[in-house]
Structure 1
């Protein structure tokens, strides 16, 4: 396993059996100021996905074990791994592409222009990063009473607004309405310091904005609802 380090906490994972390809992908990711972990097998893939957090994951499915790699992705998603995943392949049957997209993966056909990959990476990174509102106070620098008041206010918004609107959009099967709610939620959650909820919402929002059907994004939306419900149970 190779680790290419820079002074940053943002991490990326590369899974590619070809050393030269790993090096080339690594250069592109280093240019985006990411701290890299590079592995060459599907066994290492699942180990990394289940034990570490990444800003983005790149996987070459031409490993001779594409089914095993997809099983690993599905297991990781079910275990809470929310990082954007870009899958690169020379050829994939439509059924496998559909399965990957249902797991929230972007599929990039090889060969591809490096600029195409860079653009996709930038889009994925932007989608996974919760927005912060410059007009909202940062709970980390407030007193205890002020912080609790802000937290209560956000939980009230979850109860009376975001969750109601999101569930309504899902019941109606409206991807556009769901995307609008998730977009607002990712910014608000980040502003109030709930970065996990913001990141989960950003992941689902990004996939819907890229045109994935609502049903295919449900694996990313369900954790949003679960995290929101968990926050509702906290005492402030």
Structure 2
């Protein structure tokens, strides 16, 4: 072969390689679009199913009816988990699987999981317990959603493969490794040592009889292990047939200061007690909601009616544009996928004509890359379907004005009333008030040196604790400050920082 022939052959191969790459990229793009549409079509009705079920449970006092409605919600979440598993597998196959690090409360996560697992275990005739070995950090830096996904999956598996037994989730901080260690133990059917290597493969279980008897897609452990390796280490398992199994996950908690640790069960339970009994906030303000699905529109209407806020509803982006131009709103919620004009086009048009109030995207796609894209193109925040009640109410609280204080007082729960009169809680509240001096000093230093990262960290800590200890206004302002700093709006953040500093200084004196 001559030199010219060789060069021509190389060019042909390069062309074929380029063509193949383009075809692969196109196939992946089509693959991603298919799954995005699938997520939207399935998560939209699941939003209504789960949302209405949870709302009925929250407002009903008939235990017989509550148990039936909880079954509806539980099965809705099961379908959601199956869908999320398929979506995660798609991301792993197309190398789009990633983690979203944030600072969050460890004990809030643990109590969320405990609530879910207690119900599941009870339905299966099992016992579930959460055991914490202290000290534990109050907050960690990890991917909350994916860590919860791992733990819920492992605990659910333990419940599924145990009959009339005990499941325990143990949590400790391994100072020697700088890892949070989660251990899930059951006394169920166990796994033969010859089958242990198979359980972390996709679509595989210990043996074919497992799927026939217990169900499942065979994706949960595979996806959980992929997540675990991103968060710290692979999942370890020990098991004996007929005796049970132990799964261990170690997670890197990020930077932890010594002052962040909780040292007792009492402190852990007490700091979570009030916030755990979340009530809808009482708010003043007007909201424009663009949602084409009638069931989800009714759900949003029901949830908003509990807050006292005024709401206007439209069914497509074009109507939303017209309403936003003609009227003033304190907040706009836009479903991303709508007929006539979609949410992204509607938001863009609103910004073009000078609409300046916050616009929030409502989407079935919870992938971080897509959520970040929505924030980059002009949305102020993003909320995912199915809509989580607490996250939804937090969003409203950060965007709207609180109603007059007498309305807040009228809505106080029996648990909150009991805690206010509890001497131990009063002692904790006074202790927290003393710490406000420490927060005020650090906040003032951060403000004077334009240390925005430190300011955001302080705002996050106050947001998560102030309301629980009887300082709701500090918590509300801290949440608003954190939100502005997250989206890099420093001009809007500075007045909030000044107000927060004034409140902390006033309360400590």
TM-score by length of 1: 0.49
The TM-score, its normalising length taken from structure 2, stands at 0.27
Larger radius of gyration: 2
